[in-house]
Amino acid sequence: MTGWRRSEGVNPQSRMPLPEGVSRGAQFSVVVNDEKVSAFEGESVATVLMANGYPIMRTTQKGEPRGVFCGMGVCFDCLVIVDEVPNSRACMTWAAPDMRIIQQQGLTRMRVQEDDSFDA
């Protein structure tokens, strides 16, 4: 699907120039699918994805692309898998060192535990 991976023609390190007197947080790396990309403290997962050329964050059940729409946690369009937690809102999740982000395709699977007995 077009644009599912890194968008063509997007500078992978595109971020807004900083005004004078403002500095970015500490730099660290996160993993998007299998690619190691850079992130800065204080950025959301959505910011990291867009700045690294991943405007599309998931596909719907019908395979249609979705990304940041409202940017404020309401629309649930920017869902990604963050450290194995599916349906995480990229716009509402802080990026953290060594975080593992996976673009979500359609409905996410259920985690089946080895021992499924439940201690209530």
Partner 1 sequence: MIEQLLESQSASFEFLEPLPMEVDVLIVGGGIVGSSLAYFLGQRGVESLVLERGEINREASGTNAGSFHFQIALHQLTSSDPKDDMDRLLTEVRLHTEAADLWKSLEGDLKVDLGVHETGGLMVAETDEEFRLLHSKQKIEAAAGLETHVLSGKELKEFAPYLASDIKGASFCPREGHADPLLAVPLILMRAQELGAQVRTQAAVTSIERVDGKDGVRFIVQTSRGVVQARRLVNAAGAWANDISMLLGHSLPIHAEGLHVNVTEPREPILTPMLQHIGRRLTLKQTSKGTFIIGGGWPARPELQPQRYSNYWASAAGNAAVALRVMPMLQDVRLVRTWSGVMAFMNDLSPIVGESQSLPGYHVCIATTGFTLGPMMAQLLAESMVADKDFRIPQSYAVDRGLPLMTR
Among 64, 83, 87, 97, binds partner 1 (CB under 8 A): 87
Q: Site size for partner 1, by CB under 8 A?
A: 16
Angle at Cα 99 formed by Cα 68 and Cα 106, nearest 5°?
A: 45
Binding mask 37-76 for partner 1 (x = CB under 8 A): ------------------------x---------------
Tokens of 114: 């080895």
Q: Is 107 in the site for partner 1 (CB under 8 A)?
A: yes
CA distances from 19 to 2, 13, 16, 23, 28 (A): 34, 17, 9, 8, 21
Point out which residues bind partner 1 (CB under 8 A). 61, 85-87, 106-113, 116-118, 120
